[in-house]
């Protein structure tokens, strides 16, 4: 085979890692694919900008069409970010018969199905391993490693920035804003970190994971999302006191033909393997009917970890090129989309309430739960040093989302309730 030429869109955190890995691991790549591979064109915004890697400036261009229309470019690697215009660039690259590798979960969450079908129409590969959980080969794990199994549930820590923040807040009591800035300085956070802390980045990844895990076209808008910006030190401390660890968890659960996908701050029992996934690390805990419980763990962000997944996808494209079998990236969904209703979504719940410290207050509260058949796993009541109030912390057993939302509404209407301070989903005690 002749030398394979790569056009790189972006030379930032991930793009720099891609250049470094292709250069440093050239011998292994040659052994795997039987020919050299070279990055011959690189799109950037600023030609003069200082770079994390040494590149020949003649390879740099500000004109994307010099990359996606170059007849010598065989594979386009997109690590520039963005959604709308980047989608158009990749569509043109595919229509120009260029294979595509991308790390862009924002793009794949919204336009993945369309891009995959255009790739197939043009006999091109479109691989996106790096778009979910950075360097962890979770997409190949689901599609190849667990191909024979029926996935019942996925639970993921798939955003490194928020995991880094919650780890520091839990372990050291670090202030939220200070740790967010640290995560940004370390290159973990998106250009606009709102996508990280409000859960949208994790939701995009859970949509991608659910599509592959459940073989169903789950869309981003099907994922209910709550971020970590409202998580308080009190909630973290109560979680720890009750034997739980607070994490931003993506949950994708299938029962029969119906699925539910959500992202929210979640309490995990300290003994759950996901509870020990800390800092910028990611992990995806997979429940399969045959395999049982497996966990994929590793760095979810960072230059070289993410670039490892990108270059591994490139190897997959090049192997297919050598065998002449490109153009089969898209796997048609086996099931029509079928989402659970609120009354079908069950989980344990944590809630913290401020109530009047008076006779009968507690029984008025517990009756709202018992009337709906919701029982308690743990209860704490402590006096507050103000306004004759007490603080009640409850961990329920399984309750439907519908029942729990009704209870919350009724609690807010109760005279003895001063304020429902916080509520969280609790996972990991059982996977039903
Ligand atoms: N950082 C991480 O850990 C991870 C990132 N990702 C994803 O990888 C992608 C890249 O992320 P990252 O490397 O961190 O981003 P950076 O912001 O570090 O790099 C983006 C690069 O793309 C170039 N670029 C962006 N827009 C344009 C444009 N319109 N025209 C020309 N050049 C452009 C920039 O040029 P210039 O350098 O000149 O400004 C820069 O080189 C994103 O989709 C991100 O979500 C996925 C997993 C992990
Ligand atoms: N901002 C993202 C980067 C990788 O996708 C994260 O924090 O995980
Ligand atoms: Na990955």
Per-residue pLDDT of 40-68, as tens digits, reads 999 999 999 999 999 999 999 999 999 99
Ligand 1 center to 252 CA (angstroms): 28
Q: What pLDDT score does 186 carry? A: 87
Tell me the pLDDT of the chain averaged across its residues.
Answer: 95
Among all bound ligands, the one having the nearest atom to the CA of 160 is: 2
Best substitution site from 103, 131, 188 to test ligand 2's pocket, by max atoms within 8 Å of Cβ?
Answer: 188
Over residues 9-52, the pLDDT tens digits come to 999 999 999 999 999 999 999 999 999 999 999 999 999 999 99
Task: Answer for the pair 372, 399: CB distance below 8 angstroms, yes or no.
Answer: yes
Mean pLDDT of 332-361: 94
User: CA-to-CA distance for 341 and 353, rounded, in angstroms?
Assistant: 27
ipTM above 0.90, yes or no: yes
Share of the chain above pLDDT 90, in %: 91
Domain coordinates in residue numbering, the chain: 4-134+303-323, 138-299, 342-426
Structure tokens, 248: 């931003």
> Collapsing DSSP states into helix, strand and coil, what is residue 379?
strand
Instruction: Provide the pLDDT for residue 385.
Output: 82
Which of ligand 2's atoms lies nearest the C-alpha of 133? 5
Over residues 358-369, the pLDDT tens digits come to 889 999 999 999
- List pLDDT tens digits, range 303-320: 999 999 999 999 999 999
> How many other C-beta atoms lie within 10 A of the C-beta of residue 356?
17
Taking the C-alpha atoms of residue 257 and residue 337, their distance in angstroms, rounded to an integer, is 9
Output the CA torsion sign for 311, 313, 314, 318.
positive
Could you tell me the two tokens for 222? Answer: 């099907």
Dihedral angle sign, alpha carbons of residues 393, 231, 104, 53:
negative
CATH number of the structural domain 138-299: 3.30.360.10
Encode pLDDT of 242-293 as tens digits.
Answer: 999 999 999 999 999 999 999 999 999 999 999 999 999 999 999 999 999 9
Instruction: Establish whether domains 138-299 and 342-426 are of one fold.
Output: no
Whether the per-residue pLDDT at 429 is higher than 80: the answer is: no
CA–CA distance, 37 with 205 (Å, rounded to integer): 29
Place of tokens 């996508």: 195
CATH number of 342-426: 3.30.70.260
- Concerning whether 421 is annotated as a catalytic residue, the answer is no
Euclidean distance between CA atoms 165 and 180, whole angstroms? 6
Question: What topology does CATH give the domain 4-134+303-323?
Answer: Rossmann fold (3.40.50)
Residue 430 has pLDDT above 70, yes or no: no
Is 44 near ligand 1, meaning CB less than 6 Å away? yes
The atom of ligand 1 lying closest to the CA of 62 is 31
Binding positions for L-homoserine: 190
C-alpha distances (whole Å) from 405 to each of 166, 267, 304 are 26, 18, 43
Burial call 390-426: b when 16+ CB within 10 Å, e when fewer: bbbbbbbbbbbbebbeebbebbeebebbbebbbbbbb
Residue 386, pLDDT score:
76
Which listed residue (87, 98, 205, 247) is catalytic?
205
pLDDT band for position 391 (cuts 50, 70, 90): very high
Cβ–ligand 2 distance for 129 under 6 Å, the answer no
Q: Would you say the CB of residue 190 lies under 6 angstroms from ligand 2?
A: yes
**pLDDT at position 431:** 45
Q: Is 13 in the pocket of ligand 1 (CB under 6 A)?
A: yes
Distance of CA 144 to the CA centre of its chain: 20
Q: Which residue has the tokens 């994971």?
A: 209
**Pair 267, 244: CB distance under 8 Å:** yes
pTM of the predicted model as reported, rounded to 2 decimal places = 0.95
* Least confident interval from 13-27, 177-191, 287-301: 177-191
């Amino acid at each position: 085979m002749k030398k394979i030429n790569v056009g790189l869109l972006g030379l930032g955190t991930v793009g720099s890692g891609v250049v470094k890995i292709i250069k440093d691991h050239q011998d292994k790549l040659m052994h795997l694919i039987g020919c050299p591979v070279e990055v011959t064109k690189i799109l950037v915004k600023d030609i003069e900008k200082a770079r994390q890697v040494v590149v020949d400036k003649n390879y740099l261009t500000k004109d994307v069409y010099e990359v996606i229309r170059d007849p010598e470019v065989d594979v386009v690697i997109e690590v520039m970010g963005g959604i709308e215009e980047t989608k158009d660039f990749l569509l043109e690259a595919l229509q120009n018969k260029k294979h595509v590798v991308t790390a862009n979960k924002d793009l794949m969450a919204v336009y993945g199905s369309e891009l995959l079908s255009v790739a197939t129409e043009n006999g091109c590969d479109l691989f996106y391993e790096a778009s979910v959980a950075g360097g962890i080969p979770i997409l190949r794990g689901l599609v190849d490693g667990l191909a024979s199994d029926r996935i019942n549930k996925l639970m993921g820590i798939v955003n490194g920035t928020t995991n880094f923040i919650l780890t520091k807040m839990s372990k050291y009591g670090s202030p939220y804003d200070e740790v967010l800035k640290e995560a940004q300085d370390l290159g973990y956070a998106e250009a606009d970190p709102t996508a990280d802390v409000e859960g949208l980045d994790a939701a995009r990844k859970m949509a991608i994971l659910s599509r592959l895990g459940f073989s169903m076209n789950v869309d981003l808008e099907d994922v209910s999302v709550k971020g970590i910006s409202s998580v308080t030190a009190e909630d973290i401390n109560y979680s720890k006191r009750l034997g739980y660890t607070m994490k931003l968890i993506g949950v994708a659960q299938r029962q029969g033909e119906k699925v539910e996908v959500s992202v929210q701050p979640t309490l995990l029992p300290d003994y759950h393997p996901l509870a020990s996934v800390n800092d910028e690390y990611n992990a995806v805990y997979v429940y399969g009917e045959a395999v049982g419980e497996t966990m994929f763990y590793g760095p979810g962000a960072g230059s070289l970890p993410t670039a490892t997944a990108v270059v591994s996808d490139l190897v997959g494209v090049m192997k297919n090129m050598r065998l002449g079998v490109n153009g089969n990236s898209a796997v048609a969904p086996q099931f029509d989309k079928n989402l659970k209703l609120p009354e079908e979504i069950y989980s344990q719940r944590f809630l913290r309430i401020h109530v009047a410290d008076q006779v009968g207050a507690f029984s008025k509260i517990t009756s709202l739960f018992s009337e709906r058949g919701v029982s308690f796993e743990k209860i704490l009541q402590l006096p507050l040093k103000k306004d004759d109030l007490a603080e009640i912390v409850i961990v329920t057993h399984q309750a439907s989302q519908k029942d729990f939302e009704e209870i919350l509404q009724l609690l807010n209407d109760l005279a003895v309730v001063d304020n429902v301070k916080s509520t969280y989903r609790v996972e990991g005690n059982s996977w039903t």
